[in-house]
Amino acid sequence: MGRINLSRWIGLATAGATAAGLVLVVRWLAFQQSRSNARQDAQFDVNTHESDKTLENVWVVFNPAKQSDTEQFQAHVEEVARSCNVSHIEWIETSEEDPGTGQAIEALTKGASLVIAAGGDGTVRAVAASLAHSGVPMGIIPAGTGNLLARNLNIPTDDLDEAIRIALGSTFIHGDLAWLRMEDPDEVGDLAAEGQLIREARERLDANGDTIAEDDEFAYTVIAGMGFDGETMANTDSGLKKKIGWIAYVISGVKALHGKRMKASLKLKDAVSADQSTVAPDLAEHPDAQADEGDRPDIEELSDVPARTIMVANCGELPYLVLVPDADPTDGLLDVVAVDVRAGLLGWADVAGKILAQGAGWTPLDLPASTGHMTARQCRDVKVDVDQPRIVQVDGDPVGTASTVHVRVDESAVDIAVPRQ
């Protein structure tokens, strides 16, 4: 009888857990759909503007490595373009040495009225950097693994024709751009900084333009990070990424879960409190953080902030996840997120649960006894110092190893085509 009752209780518990899981999944899917609909109906409605410029000189900077048949891809884009009354497109390929920065500068020198980035987030950020403050807008045809900026702007990643029509449309946002610089890097990666590529391209093409970045500044449109975030991106297998897409990042992330904890000091300029509806409490309220007193109101310094990873976001949505709810690529702010984990896998499970709950529209509690903490702050400029060199990444590309990084926001740097409301 005891065994029967025990088996019955185990069965009931399993059924209950399964039902709870299904409720969470259904709630999460429903919220994602409603969130998507709401974004399509309302997001950027205040910040969008219509352009009356005619598209007489359209250029596409494209990454040939992202296309199995470049000729077929070009022909298809041109066919859709003709239906949008665009009779001709100029094409220019990226290269291993230059992911699109110099190519976009060349398009500007030849009078481009619109430059479209056709590739992944690396191509997008390279083109965006070159177009910053040029007055020439950018379109996006997502053709990468993550396509994170496209996702955050409601540009479809599974409907090529619609993405082309949006890129050739007349509705734009004034998008922010972020610039990251590693101070005294311990190691510099193979990827050249956009600041350097812009200067070199202008010199080569005898092009004029204001200095928008230093030679050692990397541009990004979505998110940069160091620690666990950087290790995940650096160790993702490129061959596996081509086969299974963004899931390759998940596999790499699992391998990086046992990375070392770090102590960070943050100096935030024009700091503001994150929206209290987010997962994270105010960073200054982190149990191990200490804020220096007596600073000017627009500068805040925090020391001894424990973290497994520190991210600085311009956008906050990843595939199927809402990582930084307050991040908005049009608000002129950076969202700084420090993720700390105690108790190993239990802590990571705590963080994962909070992110999933956040994606389901719930506001999870971040209690002092929690084994996983996500803390956030918004600012316009941040300097991050950690206790030992860590891998740094921008928009999924590792750029080097450093103990100190400085990130600034370039507000309304580039107009980006988005779906019409």
The span from the CA of 324 to the CA of 354, in Å, is 12
| pLDDT for the residue numbered 180 | 98
Q: Is the pLDDT of residue 20 over 50?
A: no
- What is the domain partition of the chain in residue ranges? 1-39, 55-205, 223-394
Q: Is the pLDDT of residue 296 over 80?
A: no
DSSP reduced 3-state for 39: helix
The span from the CA of 225 to the CA of 219, in Å, is 13
pLDDT > 70 in the chain, percent: 78
| pLDDT for the residue numbered 245 | 78
Give pLDDT tens digits for 381-418. 999 999 999 999 999 999 999 999 999 999 999 999 99
Average pLDDT in the chain: 83
Q: If you average pLDDT over residues 247-275, what whole number do you get?
A: 82
C-beta of residue 166 within 8 angstroms of C-beta of residue 417: yes
Q: Which two tokens stand for residue 301?
A: 């310094």
Give pLDDT tens digits for 130-172. 999 999 999 999 998 889 999 999 999 999 999 999 999 999 9
| pLDDT for the residue numbered 174 | 97
| pLDDT for the residue numbered 318 | 83
- Cβ atoms within 10 Å, residue 71: 8
Place 241 in a pLDDT band, splitting at 50, 70 and 90.
Answer: confident
Q: If you average pLDDT over residues 229-257, what whole number do you get?
A: 83
**Distance of alpha carbon 231 from its chain centroid, rounded?**
16
269 phi/psi in degrees, rounded to 5? -100, 140
Q: Is the pLDDT of residue 21 over 80?
A: no
Helix 121-131 / helix 101-109 crossing angle, nearest 10 deg: 40
| pLDDT for the residue numbered 288 | 43
The domain 55-205 is classified under which CATH number: 3.40.50.2020, 3.40.1160.10, 3.40.640.10, 3.40.50.10330? 3.40.50.10330
Q: Is the pLDDT of residue 273 over 80?
A: no
| pLDDT for the residue numbered 286 | 46
Closest-CA residue to 123 (of 74, 191, 213): 191
Burial class (CB in 10 A: 0-12, 13-18, 19+), 261: middle
Q: Is the pLDDT of residue 379 over 90?
A: yes
At the topology level, CATH places domain 223-394 in Tumour Suppressor Smad4 (2.60.200)
Q: Is the pLDDT of residue 28 over 50?
A: no
Q: Is the pLDDT of residue 3 over 70?
A: no
Place 42 in a pLDDT band, splitting at 50, 70 and 90.
Answer: very low
| pLDDT for the residue numbered 201 | 94
pTM assigned to the model: 0.83
- What DSSP letter does each residue of 335-394 carry, written as one string? EEEEEEE-STHHHHHHHHHHHHHHHTT------TT-SEEEEEEEESEEEEEEEEEEEEEE
